[in-house]
Structure 1
Amino acid sequence: MPATARLAADIGGTFTDLALERDDGQGGQDRWTAKVLTTPAAPEKGVLEGIRAVLAKAGLSPADVAIFIHGTTLATNAVIERKGAKTALLTTEGFRDVLALGNESRYDQYDLNITLPQPLVPRRLRLPVPERLDNEGKVLLPLDEAAVRDAVAFMRAEGVQSLAIGFLHAFVNPAHEHRAAEIVREMWPDLPVSLSSEVSPEMREWERFSTTAANAYVQPLMASYLHRLRDGLAAAGFSCPFFMMLSGGGLTTVETAARFPIRLVESGPAGGAIFSAHVARQKGWERVLSFDMGGTTAKVCLIDDFTPQTARTFEVARIGRFKKGSGLPLRIPVIEMVEIGAGGGSIASVDALGRIQVGPESAGADPGPACYGRGGTKPAVTDANLLLGRYDAASFAGGSMSLRPDASATAMKATLGSLGLEPPMAALGVVEVVDENMANAARVHAIESGKGYDGRAVIAFGGGGPVHGYRVAEKIGVTRLLVPSGAGVGSAIGFLRAPVGYEVVRSLYQRFRTFDRDAVNALLAEMSTEARRTVEKGSFGAPLAERRIAYMRYVGQGHEIAVELPVRTLEAADVDAVRAAYDTAYAGFYDRPVPGSDVEILSFAVTVATETAAAEPVAEVSPAPPPQPIRHQPVRDTARGEVLDWPVYDRDAMSPGAAIPGPAIVAEAETSTLVGPGWTCRMDGLGYLELTRGVAA
């Protein structure tokens, strides 16, 4: 019998989530999930342990698995924690300080003691060599090959583990970068090398050099991990294809991921956004907020017309919360979202002004929150939820863990006792603070995107999303919330919904008054071929869809707007139509176009991906009787501070059409859904929990 099951694994800071699906032969799917603690010292061990657990649940073997998809935050964490390889940068003479100077902007112009993000490569290892190209790629100064050889000898003596090469204008002509790489490989074949002309072939030196340095910084770590995991899967009997989730929402091969690991920085959160987009498509909801709260971070993402927002730039390791420009810039395709240190493991403390602070520091998986009984002594959000009665100590994580309320109370009193609050009231303060932090992140994200929350719904998932979802929704003024099935491992399920895809970006400066159609068409054809070649390695003959984008601006402006191009050889009429489309797009942002001004194109992007299958519409279901509570437990409501007995229902016992009034808890293996006072929870025809505020059951 051919293998038909699909397996996905998502490594988070606290838990590693597994999802396994197989067609049931009747047009539906069987699904099994598992959640195990992440093993930070050797992440592949947690993945393999989770795989064994989920296969045992399903009664399947490795031979039954047709595809394995993986996402991880390891690359992000390595940059944030500065635990990557010792990296050097080979760059054009006179430009060694580009990484430190950046664009000379200040993310807080009134802070006299501002702290700027430090480059991943120290100045001592930023090595200049004589060479120079002009802005059209013509050689002004040939590459000094002797200087390159001297730099390699210096790097060997310094114990460098990875190399980034970034030359001026290499995005137009990569010849000098390629020759320098050849020399390095002749002298030092085992040294990992990242070229800016391959990692981020776009203009703007700071972003290009920063992205290339970050790729080199995490490449040895990620390549080693991916190869260990691949070997572990093979030893366990897996022979199926192995794909990685990209930050932009597509899948790629392990070989491509190991070469460009910087494209994995948001792979886990990207899976969550894909999951939300799929659920929104099923429900026919065109405007939603994806709310993914895990053990270490919370992620919010706006989704319109069933498509997550995307961006060309991303910042990692921000020094200032919510402050653009306070992190290291990465120029990669990414699903745009706000990510903050607000998860179940986020640690609570008291600041110098006597205020409760939560995060961004996390207890992680080792030792974890105090209630895990693994050596943690600082109170975390999970400890606060436990003290508020939101969790049952004996059945946490499907009964795989037994929590210790006494340890939570001790940690809460030791850390927050100076405020004069008993542990339960301190816990209420912790939860209110973390809920407000997440709601504020959602507000900021909407404002920066020029959007609002009127008529929008929240899709909550992750281990903590359904627990905190209703309160965050109240704070941002949303009255409808959805908790899909499998919410506790939503990102892993999202991996199974993602297309196999890849984006290629190239810079080619053009003005419409002197537009060179032949050059543009040749470039787009080359980019399309490269993207298709990458995707076809894992598409297995599936239909492919292509999208072409030009990033354009009025001459003299500082930022571009994306305009879609037709997927064909451009004719003269197409050029006029694209120019008109830019004016329309510009007016959409700024109310009116700029008449008489020429438009310049800075870069082009081509994305090729397998086509997304249409979602089946949700069947209407008749009202069904509500299930009986499996128990009652005292819960302190965070909005009013009252302690009441909340009924607890088993989600598996609810039938489509059944509705229950809040306050209540709907429990399942990987998470619990809190239905606050004034809310009603109804199970729809897909088995999803739809919460509505102000509607009686």
Structure 2
Amino acid sequence: MARLGVDIGGTFTDVVLECGADRTSAKVLTTHGAPEDAIVEGMSRVCQAAGVAPDQIAQIIHGTTLATNALIERRGAKTALITTRGFRDVIEMRTESRFEQYDLNLVLPDPLLPRNRRHVVAERIDARGEVLVPLDRAEVEALVDDLAAAGYESVAVGLLHAYANDAHERLIAKVLAERMPGAMVSLSSQVSPQMREYERFNTTIANAYIKPLMASYLGRLKDRLATEGAACPVYLMHSGGGIMALEAAAEFPVRLVESGPAGGAIFAADLAARHGLDKVLSFDMGGTTAKICLIRAQTPKTARVFEVARSYRFKKGSGMPISIPVIDMVEIGAGGGSLARVDAMNQIRVGPESAGSEPGPACYGRGGDKPAVTDADLVLGKLDPEDFAGGSIPLYPDKARTALGTAIGEILEMDPQEAAFGLAEVVDETMANAARVHAVENGEDLGDYTMIAFGGAAPLHAARLCEKLGLDRCLVPRGAGVGSAIGFLRAPFSFEATRSVFTAMDAFDPAAVRSLFAEMEQEATGFVRACDAEAEVTAEHRLYMRYAGQGWEIPIDLTPAQAAAPEAGQILALFEAEYEKLFGRTVAGLRAEITVWSVKAATRQARPAPVERVADGPEPAASGTRDLFDPARGAVLSAAVLRRTGLAPGSTLAGPALITEQETTVVVPASRRARALGDGTIEVVAQGNAS
């Protein structure tokens, strides 16, 4: 069965066609005005190369940055918010925390909707779901008539404590359907039925804001693909690491915000399972951003809240909180297209601004005149100007040197190579520091982790990151340059249902818990069955718990047996064990509480076959040499150049070396050696270490 994976990034659109054991891939510059154009071009390329007609494709799995970009660039629909009287300004007041406490001129990001687009109704439901102030239908009708007259395209409804009782939100939705039938509606009780009104309201508004745009795009995409002959089902990768139906994606587009990076994490987890790795640092570096994710026991770490559109150098707290199930990762504005500059302190700064695909880095020769990471990589010898992206995109070293010299060299009195070295070191140290902080925040020591590097730019920088982080081993899988798109083809159909039902452990009711789990499992399974009615579906149960008085919760996973027969004592023991693991001790005398319940339904995936170990082979013959700047040595070295396709399993070579392929290049510095494993993965380890 032929399947197509498509990942739209800020710079490149990656397309992967799998037909049995055969895989064909292509990288195409993203067409921001009409993203479907790049998809069609990429599909045409891989189908032609594989000898497969578009009408032979049985499934298309798609991930996109369109939703994220619309939020960042504020390009959504004309949207209104209907909320409880007295809570109109929740999204502007935020949490009242200072994400940069020493900045006296701190400016908080503007809310997604200005105050004149936020409207209120008189109603009130308490935290137990009991009605304190009934909702007057006549008041709702009058408000909806005003919204219709104002020409709103989309309406977000977020009422206080609607997660506990959604009756008032459903009444407003009914009136909207009757009096504004053309408007799209998003209810907080459906989009994010969780406590904490700021995050819930913001998530619902974000969903409403991008809903018309995404519905239009997904409709156009399906029609365009059908016109090209691929009239097969189209599925979307969601932020939680699974696949959902196109119709569900159009209804809840906010779940697509981190779809591309989620595919990369699934790709890394699949490789970890094949190689029997329990501790993995996933490193995904593309054209616009770099993403780092911790993977334990072949499962990416997940979270309930993440931020998009951070406005203050990617500082936590400076962005827009989105409260949905998501793979937990740290994202840095450091991709191949990230632009460099010299700040007022004469320090080199890189990102978060990116050259993207239009015009792209200076070396693309498409009009860009500012130096990007790709320009530095080219000048340092990591890239072949005549074989970039399989030769489809010529690079111009002279333009890269000119941009580096103008923006950095002339200011800091450096030649272009020194400027490129400084730029690359800033980028690598930024990513290494982000990995350190992410590990510390999760109570992990990276010393015994293995890095898995993928994305077009990651294999160029992975070995240097390993040097900085003290990691001995890095794996660069086959298809690393299009890893996220391959990850889409490895992901299960899945959906996660959540509920906020506050439960103190001294008032734990097993019967009520079983009923709640059954209701959530039915909801989650329904979304999965809409994608595949015949597949075996499994359910994972999770609780979020804290001590009374604490402001945040930790996740507690239950086995199927524990979820089927929940016991307060057993759950409390699980919580205390996990709490002690994270914080070193429990807190005696404090009551434990459950705030959020979660059930994730997913199709059962076959466990990947383990990779067989192969004996070391002879060092392969190089096709040539190239000057490569080694930052650890601070010198230019002569590096052997080899094609990845020419490496037989077991082939071993010492650095410095460059292993080239169509979508990327694996840089092996002098401190490392490389070895081809049985599945074609390149293992890069410290010299003298056994794999």
TM-score, structure 1 normalization: 0.96
The 2-side partners of 1:405 and 1:43 are apart by 29
Q: CA deviation at 1:694?
A: 1.9
Pairing 1:691–2:684 present: yes
* 1:409 aligned to which of 381, 389, 401: 401
TM superposition shift of 1:568 = 6.2
Contact kept, 8 Å, 1:69 with 1:243, in 2: the verdict is: yes
Equivalence for 1:200: 192
Residue number in structure 2 paired with 1:26: none
Among 177, 186, 198, which residue is 2:178 paired with? 186
Q: CA deviation at 1:672?
A: 0.3
Q: Show the 5 A alignment for 1:127-146.
A: 127-146=119-138
Does 1:494 find its partner at 2:487? yes
Separation in structure 1 between the aligned mates of residue 638 and residue 380 of structure 2, nearest angstrom: 12
Per the TM alignment, residue 612 of structure 1 is displaced from its structure 2 partner at its CA by: 2.4
Q: Is the 8 A contact 2:510 2:567 kept in 1?
A: no
Deviations 1:397-451 (A, max 9, x none): 0011111112212222221222211222211111111111111111111111111
Structure 1 distance, partners of 2:24, 2:533, is: 25
User: In the alignment, does 2:19 pair up with 1:22?
Assistant: yes
* 2:345 match: secondary structure: coil
Work out whether 1:644 is the aligned partner of 2:637: yes
For the residue of structure 2 that corresponds to 1:128, the secondary structure is strand
Give me the whole-angstrom Cα distance separating, in 1, the residues matched to 2:426 and 2:98. 28
In the other structure, the counterpart of 2:143 is 151
Aligned AA (2:448): G
Structure 1, 556-565 or 271-280: larger mean CA deviation: 556-565
Cα deviation per residue 1:242-299 (whole Å; 9 max; x = unaligned)? 1111111011000111111111111100000011111111111111100000000000
Match for residue 11 of structure 1 among 8, 11, 17? 8
Whole-angstrom distance in 2 between the partners of 1:394 and 1:575:
65
CA contact (8 A) 2:528 2:601 kept: yes
In the alignment, the residues of structure 1 paired with residue 437 and residue 562 of structure 2 have an alpha-carbon distance, to the nearest angstrom, of 41
Looking at structure 2, the residues matched to 544 and 378 of structure 1 have their Cα atoms a distance apart, in angstroms, of: 50
Question: Could you report, residue by residue, the CA deviation over 1:85-105 in whole angstroms, capped at 9, with x for unpaired residues?
Answer: 222110001100110112222
Equivalent residue letter for 1:9:
V
Q: Deviations over 1:141-188 (max 9, x none)?
A: 221333323333333444433211000111111111111111112111
2:365 matched to 1:369? no
Q: Is the 8 A contact 1:363 1:369 kept in 2?
A: yes
Instruction: Tell me what 1:557 maps to.
Output: 550
Q: Counterpart of 1:123 in structure 2: which amino acid? A: R
**1:334–1:573 CA distance, 2 compared to 1 (3 A):** closer
| Contact 1:680-1:696 at 8 Å conserved across structures | no
Out of 295, 302, 308, the position equivalent to 2:294 is 302
- What RMSD, in angstroms, separates the aligned Cα atoms of the two structures? 1.6
Distance (Å, rounded) in 2 between the aligned partners of 1:322 and 1:477 = 25
Give the Cα separation in 2 of the matches to 1:374 and 1:591: 54
Report how far residue 544 of structure 1 moved: 1.5
Q: 1:668-693 CA deviation, whole Å, 9 max, x = no partner? A: 00000000012100001111100111
Equivalent of 1:230, from 218, 222, 247? 222
* SS state at 2:598 partner: strand
2:60 to 63, 68, 71: 68
Three-state SS of the structure 1 residue aligned to 2:522 is: helix
Percent of aligned pairs with the same amino acid: 53
Q: Which amino acid in 1 is paired with 2:159?
A: F
Question: Which letter does structure 1 place at the counterpart of 2:308?
Answer: V
2:411 maps to which residue?
418
Match of 1:449 in 2: 442
Question: Which of 515, 524, 543 in structure 1 is aligned with 2:517?
Answer: 524
Which residue does the alignment assign to 1:243? Answer: 235
Displacement of 1:571 after TM fit?
7.5
* One-letter amino acid matched to 1:168: L
Residue 677 of structure 1 aligns to a residue whose secondary structure is coil
| Alignment match, 2:646 | 653
Letter in 1 for 2:459: P
Please point out which of 368, 374, 378 is paired with 1:386: 378
How do 1:160-559 and structure 2 match up within 5 A? 160-321=152-313, 323-416=315-408, 417-559=410-552
Asked if structure 2 preserves the Cα contact closer than 8 Å seen for 1:635 and 1:646, the reply is yes
Distance in 2, matches of 1:553 and 1:679, equals 45
Query: Deviation of residue 573 (structure 1)?
Result: 6.5
Q: Which residue of 1 aligns with 2:591?
A: 598
**CA spacing shift, 1:412–1:509, aligned 2, 3 Å:** same
Contact 2:510 2:566 (8 Å CA) reproduced? no
Return the offset for 1:603. Answer: 1.8
Question: Where in structure 2 are the equivalents of 1:23-38 lying within 5 Å?
Answer: 23=20, 29-38=21-30
Does structure 1 conserve the Cα–Cα contact (< 8 Å) formed by 2:514 and 2:566?
A: no
Q: Supply the distance in 1 between the matched residues of 2:405 and 2:535 (Cα, whole angstroms).
A: 58
Q: Distance in 1 between matches of 2:254 and 2:473?
A: 36
Per-residue deviation, 1:78: 1.4
Quote the offset at 1:513 in angstroms: 2.1
Please give the alpha-carbon distance, in whole angstroms, between the structure 1 residues aligned to 2:565 and 2:244: 35
Greater CA drift, 418-427 or 583-592: 583-592
Instruction: Give the gaps of 5 or more residues in structure 2.
Output: none
Q: Tell me which moved more, 147-156 or 545-554.
A: 147-156
Q: Give, in whole Å, the separation in 1 of the partners of 2:125 and 2:561.
A: 32
Distance of 1:571 and 1:309 partners within structure 2: 24
Deviations 1:440-469 (A, max 9, x none): 111111111111111111111100000011
What amino acid sits opposite 1:187 in the alignment?
R
2:608 is equivalent to residue 608 of structure 1: no
Whether 1:673 aligns to 2:666 is yes
Unaligned segments of structure 1, at least 5 residues: 24-28
Return the offset for 1:391. 1.1
Q: Tell me the alpha carbon deviations over residues 562-583 of structure 1, each in whole angstroms, 9 at most, x when there is no partner.
A: 2233536968772332222222
Task: Letter of the 2:67 partner, please give it.
Answer: A
2-structure distance, mates of 1:178, 1:309: 34
C-alpha distance in 1 between matches for 2:635 and 2:279? 34
CA contact (8 A) 1:626 1:654 kept: no
1:593 deviation in Å? 2.8
AA of the residue aligned to 1:429: G
Counterpart selection for 1:58 from 47, 50, 56: 50
- Give yes or no for contact 1:87–1:120 (8 Å, CA) kept in 2: no
What TM-score results when the alignment is normalised by the length of structure 2? 0.97
Equivalent residue letter for 2:637: L
Helix, strand or coil at the partner of 2:502? strand
Which AA in structure 2 matches 1:439? Answer: A
The answer to whether the 8 A contact 1:517-1:571 is kept is no
Report deviation, 1:322. 5.0
Opposite residue 464 of structure 2, the aligned amino acid is R
